[in-house]
Every structure is written in C-alpha cells, then in structure tokens.
Amino acid sequence: MEVTCPEKFQELLDELGCCSEIEQKQIIEEMNEAIDRMDEKEFESILATELFNKVDKMIKEKNLSMENAILLLKHVGYYKVLLNLWCYEFYDSLLCGRFEKLIIEEEKKNEEKNENLLVDLCECYAVLNGYYISREELFFICVSCLLKVALKKEEDETTQKEVEMALLALTCLREGIEIKKKKNLKKIKGIIKYHQKHHNHTHVAYQSAWNLLIIKNTLDKNYEKLIVNELHFGMEATRELEELVRCVDWKKKEKDSERRMKMIDFAIVDRWLDIIEIFFEYFEINSEEFADLTGCMIRLCRVTRGNRSDVVYRCCSIFVKMIIFQPNLIVFNDLMKSGVFDFILEEVHNQTFNDCMTGEFLIFFLNVSRKLKEKEKDENEEVKRILFDKMEEEGFEDVIASFHEMFNFLSSEYFYGLSLNVSDYYLNA
C-alpha cells in the first residue's frame, strides 16, 4: 500500500529524535519535500498540537537542535500562511510558550544577542501564531526585528528569501498598533517604491508589502492618494496578476514536482484578491488603471474557470463590492469596458456554475439596477443617461428587466431563500 505524504511526514518525525544533527538536517529536508507534495487537506492534517509538543519535547531533551527545529517550523509556517490556514494548535502547544520566553530573553541581551536567532524565532512565532499574540512586548519585538530584515536591498537569492519570509511574517501581525506607526509605514512605502524601480523582491514578498500598506490602513483616507496616485496600486496589481495569468498553465494537471510552485501561484492570486477586495470596499476609484485591473481579473476568470471556480466566485464578489461601495458612477463604464458584464452573461448561458455562483450573478445585476435608480446629484445625471444608453445598446438593460420579479424576492428573502435549483430562476438564459 502506498504511503501518503502526511504518513511519510509522521514517520520521518518519529525518526528525528534518534539521529545526529547532520542526519536530522537530511530528514527535515525530506519532511519539507513531503510538505511540498501535499494538497491543502493533507497539509492541514499535520497541523496538530501533537506536532508542536513533540518538537518542544525534543528541544527540551536536547534531541533536536533549535537550528534544525527552526528549519522545519519555518517551512510549516510558510505554507500555513500562504494557504491562509488558522493554527490554534500552535497557540495551545508547549512550543508556543517556549518561543515567547526565548524571544523576550534574546531581545534583552546586549552584546551577546544573537540577531539571526532572534529573527528566526520571530518569524516562526509570527507565521505560526501571529493572530494570537497577547503581549504587546512580543508584538513590538517581532515588528522591529522583522522590519530590519524586510528593508534589506541586496538582490541575491538568499537575501530575497530572507526578505520574503520577514514580510510574510509581518502580514500575520494584524492585531496591534505598531504596524500603523508613520515611521513603519514609511518603511513599507520605501520597500514598494524600491521594488518598482529595481524589481528586487519575489512575488510573495512584493504582495506582502502591499498587504501591509493597504490592509493595515483601510480606515485611513490619508493613504488613499499615496496608494492610488503615487504608488499606482491599480497598475501594480494588474501587472502582478497578468504575469500569473500569462506564465502559469492553470488547466494543466501538475506532477508532484510542479505541485509546490502551482500551490504558491494559487496562493499569491488569492492574496492579491484579498487586497483588491479590501481596496474597493474602503477606497475610491479615481484612476483609469482600475479598468485595466478589472479587465485582468476577467482574464483570470477565463483561465481558471472549470478547475478553480472559487477564483471566479471571488472575482464576481469583488465586482459586486465595486457596485455597492464605489460612489462614482464611472465604475459602471469601467466594468462594461473591461468585459465584466459580458463575462457574467457568458457564464449564465454556459450554465456551468453552482448555486453560490448563480446567486452572486443575481446579486450583481440586482445592485446594478439599484445603483442606477438611486437619486444622484445633478452633475451625475448626464453620466447616468450615457450609461443607460450604453447598457441598452449592449442588451444589458433587457437582462436586468427580465430579472425584476426575482429581485423583489431577493430583497425580501435574501439570496439564501432561493430553492436548491437556483439556476432555474435564470429564465432568460
């Protein structure tokens, strides 16, 4: 019987405590390779309190060096963050308490302080436990320590991986005020601007820097001009997504050796969509760049539909938020110009979607109809008339009109009140 990747991982874990330090390194490399071959469910199955307690016991009994433990835990944490998995198990483990104690002790040292060890401890602690840091002292130490690494500008591969891990770890520290300090945000801005000029970071590192800048400042309108006009978020997000759309064969069934890279590519797309969704909810579109971004998202939908319906669903949810939250009616013109309306109608006629997707399409048209009927200031009436004419010319107005009876039902019962055969409601399809 063939051994699964999680089973192989557990077998190797059991061997760790009985080997020399050099042999341990070789075993940990095999364990990390096993992780690379796991799918999401398999990987989630190894994230257990028992794993972390076992590592803690081996460290305590000096059967596993801290250096080797970090080599394993960084790899585990890296995938945990990229796959957006919660990890209560580390928080509940003995290893969590050990790391907290070691970080504080190492920080308090002066001349004897081991900066590299402190960085490693902070990175492991953040990626495995970032959401649950209860002591401000730990939070401040981690932010200060990780930002020093993130600011490195060397372009060699080793430094790039160090910066990537530091920035990824910083994105886990979402609770707390330290990241919002002006001096720290200025550093994040500097990282983004330097990369735009020199392209010195990996895709994960660059995406993480944007994550820090936008997700940490969603309620601060002072950063809107910086994000949109100075750093050109729309153009940068478009370029990054376009590269993933162009360079990855999304429909190809990958071999084990290719699975790791494909999993990372999917994870980067998901993380970009997280940022884009938050941007459209909290900041106002006032740039032509965003028509290009929505067009890129449609191309992403086309290459992933059939094998990643969750990506299509996420994009459609973002289009709905654009309609709901953006006060500027020009957004409708951008959506039509980028092909959003056409794509959604294609999907309706293909009837290859599930009920959740069907509901999202209905919600999209529902909000288009509502938005165009809202009372706007006089200066918007000309824009609204142009949009109505364009929608009528393209046939979209007829589509919306054919759904009005359904819209009334949705308004009173919500989308979740529809029958299990939601697609039956698409009479005009």
What does each of the 429 residues of the chain score in pLDDT, given as a tens digit?
688 999 999 999 999 988 899 999 999 999 999 999 898 899 999 999 999 999 999 999 999 999 999 999 999 999 999 988 887 899 889 999 999 999 999 999 988 899 999 999 999 999 998 677 778 889 889 999 999 999 999 989 999 999 999 999 999 986 544 566 778 888 999 999 999 999 999 999 999 999 988 876 665 667 788 888 899 999 999 999 999 888 766 666 665 555 666 677 888 999 999 999 998 888 887 777 888 999 999 999 988 887 778 888 899 899 988 888 887 777 777 788 888 888 887 777 665 556 677 777 777 877 777 777 765 554 456 666 666 666 666 666 666 666 555 555 555 544 444 444 444 444 444
Provide the CA 154 distance to its chain's centre, in angstroms: 26
| Per-residue tokens: 280 | 């459209």
Per-residue pLDDT, 405: 56
Output the 3-class SS for the chain.
CCCCHHHHHHHHHHHHCCCCHHHHHHHHHHHHHHHHCCCHHHHHHHCCHHHHHHHHHHHHCCCCCHHHHHHHHHHHHHHHHHCCCCCHHHHCCHHHHHHHHHHHHHHHCCCCCCHHHHHHHHHHHHHHHHHHCCCHHHHHHHHHHHHHHHCCCCCCHHHHHHHHHHHHHHHHCCCCCHHHCHHHHHHHHHHHHHHHHHCCCCHHHHHHHHHHHHHCCCCCHHHHHHHHHHCCHHHHHHHHHHHHHHHCCCCCCCCHHHHHHHHHHHHHHHHHHHHHHHHHHHCCCCCCHHHHHHHHHHHHHHHHCCCCHHHHHHHHHHHHHHHHHCCCCHHHHHHHHCCHHHHHHHHHHHCCCCHHHHHHHHHHHHHHHHHHHCCCCHHHHHHHHHHHHHHHHHCHHHHHHHCHHHHHHHHHHCHHHCCCCHHHHCCCC
Which of 6, 3, 88, 90 is closest to 40 using CA atoms? 6
Per-residue pLDDT, 184: 84
The C-alpha atoms of residue 190 and residue 234 are separated, in whole angstroms, by 18
The full set of domain ranges for the chain reads: 1-132
The C-alpha atoms of residue 122 and residue 95 are separated, in whole angstroms, by 13
The C-alpha atoms of residue 58 and residue 69 are separated, in whole angstroms, by 9
Per-residue pLDDT, 27: 96
The C-alpha atoms of residue 384 and residue 156 are separated, in whole angstroms, by 53
The C-alpha atoms of residue 315 and residue 210 are separated, in whole angstroms, by 19
CA geometry: angle 346, 267, 125, nearest 5 deg: 155
Write the CB contacts of 328 (distance below 8 Å, at least 6 apart in sequence).
Answer: 284, 285, 286
Per-residue pLDDT, 305: 80
The C-alpha atoms of residue 362 and residue 422 are separated, in whole angstroms, by 10
Per-residue pLDDT, 420: 43
